[in-house]
Amino acid sequence: MTSNPRGKFITFEGGEGVGKSTNIHWCSDWLTAQNIDVIVTREPGGTPIAELIRNKLLKAHHAEPMVPMAELLLMFAARAQHLEAVILPALSQGTWVLCDRFTDSTIAYQGFGRGLDLSSIETLKTLVQGTLEPDCTLLLDAPIEVGMARAHGRSVATGEATDRFEIEQLAFFERVRDGFQTLAATHSRFVTLDATQTLDDIQAELAIRLNLLRAP
Ligand SMILES: Nc1ncnc2c1ncn2[C@@H]1O[C@H](COP(=O)(O)OP(=O)(O)O)[C@@H](O)[C@H]1O
Ligand SMILES: Cc1cn([C@H]2C[C@H](O)[C@@H](COP(=O)(O)OP(=O)(O)O)O2)c(=O)[nH]c1=O
C-alpha cells in the first residue's frame, strides 16, 4: 500500500500591498488546473480561533496600546492553532498549502520592525513549529511607496478600514523590508520576485517555480 506524498507548503511574504493575495489565488487556480489539491490560507488567521486572535491584533485599541511582546506571543498563539488544525492535516493528506504570510513575517515585523530579540523569536518558532519549514517562500519585493499606493487603492475600492500595522511610519516598513531581504539572502527556500513587474510577468515566474516544485 502506498501513502499519499506529503503536500508542498508554500508561503507568500512581503510588505503591505505587494500582491501576495492576488498572486496566491492565481497560484491556487494554476495548481487546481494541474489536478493538484490545494488550500489557500493566511496568517494571522486561517481557523476560527486564529481569526479571533487576528481581529485583536489588527484592530487599534486606543485606550490600551498593545505591547510588542503581547503582539509577538499572539502571532505565535494563532500560528500554533493554525498549524495543528489546518496546515499539518492538509499536508499529511497530500494537499498543497499556500499560506499568505508565516513566521518570516514575524521575524520581519516583530523582529526587524518592532526590535524584539531575534533569538527569542527563533526559540518560539522552534517551540511552535518544530523543524517544519516551508518548501518554498515566495517573497514579493517592492519599494514601500509602491506597496502602500496599491494597498491604498485597494482600500478605496473595497472600503476596508486601515489596520494597526498600516498606520505605521515609513521607517518601520523600511526595517520590515530589510528583514525580508536579509532572510532571503540567508535561506535557500526563498525566491525573491520583483513585485513592481506586471502581474503577467510575475505570474510567468510563478508558473516556473510551481513546475519545479511539482517535479518528483
Ligand atoms: N504587479 C501588480 N501590478 C499592479 N497592480 C497590482 C500588482 N499586484 C497587485 N496589484 C494590485 O495591488 C493591490 C494590492 O494587492 P494585494 O494582492 O491585495 O496585496 P497584498 O495581499 O500583498 O497586500 C490590489 O488592488 C491588486 O490588484
Ligand atoms: C503573520 C504576521 C503578520 N503580521 C502583520 C503584517 C500585516 O500588516 C498584518 C496583516 O497581514 P495581511 O492581512 O496579510 O496584510 P496585507 O494584506 O496588508 O499585507 O499582520 C505581523 O506583524 N507578524 C506576523 O507574524
Residue by residue, pLDDT tens for the chain (216 residues) are: 456 789 999 999 999 999 999 999 999 999 999 999 999 999 999 999 999 999 999 997 778 899 999 999 999 999 999 999 999 999 999 999 999 999 999 999 999 999 999 999 999 999 999 999 999 999 999 999 999 999 888 878 888 878 888 888 999 999 999 999 999 999 999 999 999 999 999 999 999 999 999 987
Please enumerate, by residue number, every residue annotated as part of a binding site for ATP: 14-21
In a domain, 127, yes or no: yes
In a domain, 186, yes or no: yes
For residue 44, the CA-to-ligand 2 centroid distance in Å is: 7
Which listed ligand is nearest to 165 at the C-alpha? 2
pLDDT the model gives residue 155? 79
- On whether the CB atoms of residues 32 and 215 are closer than 8 A, the answer is no
Alpha helices in the chain (DSSP H): 20-33, 48-58, 68-82, 88-92, 103-106, 118-129, 144-158, 170-186, 199-214
In a domain, 144, yes or no: yes
pLDDT the model gives residue 5? 84
Which atom of ligand 2 is closest in space to residue 151's alpha carbon? 18
User: Is the minimum distance from the CB of 8 to ligand 2 under 6 angstroms?
Assistant: no
In a domain, 35, yes or no: yes
What's the grid cell of residue 19?
500582491
In a domain, 2, yes or no: no
- On whether the CB atoms of residues 54 and 45 are closer than 8 A, the answer is yes
In a domain, 70, yes or no: yes
- Per the structure, the count of domains in the chain is 1
Q: Residue 48 maps to which CATH number?
A: 3.40.50.300
pLDDT the model gives residue 2? 53
Q: CA-CA distance, 60 to 35, in Å (whole number)? A: 42
Segments forming the whole domain that contains residue 166: 9-214
In a domain, 68, yes or no: yes
- On whether the CB atoms of residues 11 and 101 are closer than 8 A, the answer is yes
In a domain, 1, yes or no: no
Other CB atoms within a 10 A radius of the CB of residue 150 amount to 17
Task: Give the binding-site residues of ligand 1, using a 6 Å CB cut-off.
Answer: 14, 16-22, 150-151, 153-154, 195, 198-199, 202
**To test the ligand 2 pocket, which listed residue (109, 125, 148, 169) has its Cβ within 8 A of the most ligand atoms?**
109
Q: CA-CA distance, 30 to 111, in Å (whole number)? A: 34
